[in-house]
Amino acid sequence: MSKKTNQVVGDYSMKGSRRYDAPGNIRAGTNVIGFRRNVLSDAEAEAPKPKSVAVFLRRRDGKILAVSRPDDIDDMNMPGGGIEEGETPIDAARRELWEETGIFAFDLVELANDGETVAFRALDATGTLRSSHEGQAAWVTLEKLMSGRYSSFLKKVLKRLKL
């Protein structure tokens, strides 16, 4: 009599009687060739979860939307911030852009993702520029933006934009 061989997908980390009583458990006499602890694909399970977002918005005259640090008005960076629990990166980008600048983006396209931060390009936006408690919002030159604290990440964004 030959034994059956199965590939098992599910959480089989339970011990003792909890495991035996669980639906879809592995019964005696079944050879297991591999398993995963969750139902996500391998790529989804291993993908790092970004913690922050940034938004790149450029006017026709070439100036780029930027926000200063609250403690240093000369350190200009793309608008952005942290992703809240349960929020998608694109929703966080829209929220951060609105909170920091008063600008609302309709269309956002992902430009760069270094595992820590996801950068989006705003293709269509509206609103009246305003500053917030997080910093001074302004339209700045690319050179001014490149002098900011996060210029190394901005270089990745610019490379993707071919600027």
154 in the same domain as 87: yes
For the chain, the average pLDDT equals 80
Between 133 and 48, the higher pLDDT residue = 133
21 in the same domain as 100: no
- Work out the pLDDT band at 71, boundaries 50, 70, 90: confident
- pLDDT for residue 163: 65
100 in the same domain as 20: no
Helix (H, G, I), strand (E, B) or coil at 159: helix
151 in the same domain as 91: yes
Instruction: Please check whether residue 96 is in contact with residue 88, taking contact to mean a CB–CB distance below 8 angstroms.
Output: no
Overall pTM surpassing 0.85 (yes/no): no
- Work out the pLDDT band at 5, boundaries 50, 70, 90: very low
98 in the same domain as 78: yes
108 in the same domain as 141: yes
65 in the same domain as 41: no
List, for residues 34-70, the tens digit of each pLDDT value: 544 555 556 555 667 899 999 999 999 999 999 998 8
76 in the same domain as 22: no
130 in the same domain as 64: yes
Give burial (CB, 10 Å; 0-12/13-18/19+) of 28: exposed
The CATH number linked to 131 is 3.90.79.10
| 80 has pLDDT over 80 | yes
- pLDDT for residue 39: 54
Domain count, the chain: 2
Can you spell out the DSSP letters for 84-110? PTT--HHHHHHHHHHHHHSEEEEEEEE
Which range of residues forms the domain containing residue 89? 52-161
104 in the same domain as 27: no
- pLDDT for residue 114: 87
How many residues does this entry show for the chain? 163
List, for residues 90-112, the tens digit of each pLDDT value: 999 999 999 999 999 989 999 98
99 in the same domain as 35: no
Can you spell out the DSSP letters for 9-54? ES-----HHHHHHSTTPPPTT-EEEEEESSSS-HHHHHSPPP-EEE
| 19 has pLDDT over 70 | no
142 in the same domain as 74: yes
